[in-house]
Amino acid sequence: MTSTTPLSPSGRSTLGRLHERGRADRADLYAVLDAGLVCHFGFVADGAPVVLPAGYGRLGDTIYVHGSSGARWLRSSEMPACLTVTHLDGIVYARSVFHFSMNYRSAVVHGTARLVTDETERRDSLRAIVEHLAPGSWEHARTPSRRELAATAVLSMDLSEASVKVRSGPPKDDEEDLTDEVWAGVVPVLPTFGAPVPDEHVPAGRAVPEHVTRR
Amino acid sequence: MTSTTPLSPSGRSTLGRLHERGRADRADLYAVLDAGLVCHFGFVADGAPVVLPAGYGRLGDTIYVHGSSGARWLRSSEMPACLTVTHLDGIVYARSVFHFSMNYRSAVVHGTARLVTDETERRDSLRAIVEHLAPGSWEHARTPSRRELAATAVLSMDLSEASVKVRSGPPKDDEEDLTDEVWAGVVPVLPTFGAPVPDEHVPAGRAVPEHVTRR
């Protein structure tokens, strides 16, 4: 797949409602996924859905999540899954409560989550997950030991079936409400990074490295 | 239920891994839910999980999500569901990649989502959802017409089965890595609100109302 391969909408990844918010480019999918830090990973256990937050990383058209190899949800070698990443960009204040909304970008990936067993892919995917969370860190920190690798499970999903939705811009009030005296507009939501806080073992006066301050 | 009623852990809401991150107080559940703006709502369609972002509101021990009454996922009168709210508070840089982590607070609610049909509950829940998203707005904006109410579906879930997880603080590196020269600590993540942007119909010079600036 390339960035111009369509998101190949199946029935479930074809947007029913508000399809004008849909995006059809693979590049839009990559952009939403790459800008996030936490995904919400859904699976089915005993017939009921379970949605858990997780870190993730992407390599080409595969997305990876990881966790402890002891975690119940990471014990299946293969299972139907849904992985969603959402960015909240703003709160949309309208003149009628019906038109209150959020500005957001979201990507929903449908498919099968598979336990990664190939040792090279496991290592590459863990690197992608750590680099996604904390760019530049893999080369600065100690890499995983054999024991640590064994304690880590990685699931992969391919990005062949996904949908992207984006809402942006001002409220869409009804014509007849525009005469109202109600304030309407958008309050932007901006995720920001605070100043890095070293732990107690970092020598006093030690500079924060560039790959951390770059955030 | 009161704020001291336990979160009544069932099998699935009992934390398996890292149970030291678990919180057992109902007040912790309320705090995580009330501090969020977007939830991730999971359900099962044709045997596969679907996870969608949604706005929500809480009234006592009931949580509500809403959407268009035309949306496919809002057409069931009752279905197994999972509703998760996650706050990312920081990126945890460790001395070994194995101990990289996130500081976060998350609440996972398991149970049955029911379509709200009682008109009073529908109205009260929509008010709770709008007030959760944009406090103070219900009294300022035009309330829903009969047609708008008909176009809106609301689902409820009760908060009887839920789990709360919190990770905070510095990295937990292995003793033998503490001699390393690697910087370790936390980069805080702070969701912030930007300056309100009025839409084109707001008269120039009109002050932003207090219930909006209060954010």
All structural domains of chain B, each given as residue ranges with its CATH number in brackets, are: 19-213 (2.30.110.10)
pLDDT at A86 over 60: yes
Query: Are residues A206 and B215, on separate chains, in Cβ contact within 8 Å?
Result: no
pLDDT tens for each residue of chain B, 215 residues long: 444 455 655 666 665 555 566 677 899 999 999 999 999 999 999 999 999 999 999 999 999 999 888 887 777 889 999 999 999 999 999 999 999 999 999 999 999 999 999 999 999 999 999 999 999 999 989 999 999 999 999 999 999 999 999 999 999 999 998 876 789 999 999 989 999 999 999 988 888 999 999 87
State the count of interchain CB pairs (< 8 A) between A and B.
305
* Residue A204 pLDDT level (bands cut at 50, 70, 90): confident
- Whole-number pLDDT of residue B4: 47
Is A210's pLDDT higher than 70?
Answer: yes
Contact B128, A88 (CB under 8 A): no
Q: Are B49 and A209 within 8 A, CB to CB?
A: no
More confident residue, B125 or A178: B125
Return the percentage of chain A with pLDDT > 90, whole number: 72
Sequence-distant (6+) residues with CB within 8 A of B209 are A183, B136, B140
Say what the pLDDT of residue B8 is.
58
Q: Residue range A35-40: average pLDDT?
A: 97
Q: pLDDT (tens digit, 9 = 90+) per residue, A120-152?
A: 999 999 999 999 999 999 998 999 999 999 999
Collapsing DSSP to helix, strand or coil, B55 comes out as: strand
Amino acid at A44: V
Of B40, B133, B212, the CB nearest to A100: B133
Taking residues A20-34, report their average pLDDT: 85
**Identity of the residue in A71, A86, A141 whose CB atom sits nearest the CB atom of B53:** A86
Q: In the prediction, which pLDDT does A70 show?
A: 80
Token pair in block for residue A96: 């009628």
The pLDDT tens digits for A146-176 are 999 999 999 999 999 999 999 999 999 999 9
DSSP B94-153: -SBGGG-EEEEEEEEEEEEEEE---HHHHHHHHHHHHHHHSTT-TTTSBPPPHHHHHTEE
pLDDT tens for A59-82 read 999 999 998 888 877 778 899 999
Q: What single letter denotes the amino acid at residue B207?
A: A
Residue B88 contacts A where some CB pair is shorter than 8 Å: yes
Q: Is A15 on the interface with B (CB under 8 A)?
A: no
Query: Which residue did the predictor score with more confidence, A1 or B139?
Result: B139
Is A187 in contact with B212 (CB distance < 8 Å)?
Answer: yes
Average pLDDT score over chain A: 89
Interchain pair B91, A134: CB under 8 A: yes
* More confident site: A74 or A112: A112
- Nearest of B156, B31, B21, B22 to residue B83 by alpha carbon: B156
* Residue B158: strand, helix, or coil: strand
- ipTM metric: 0.91
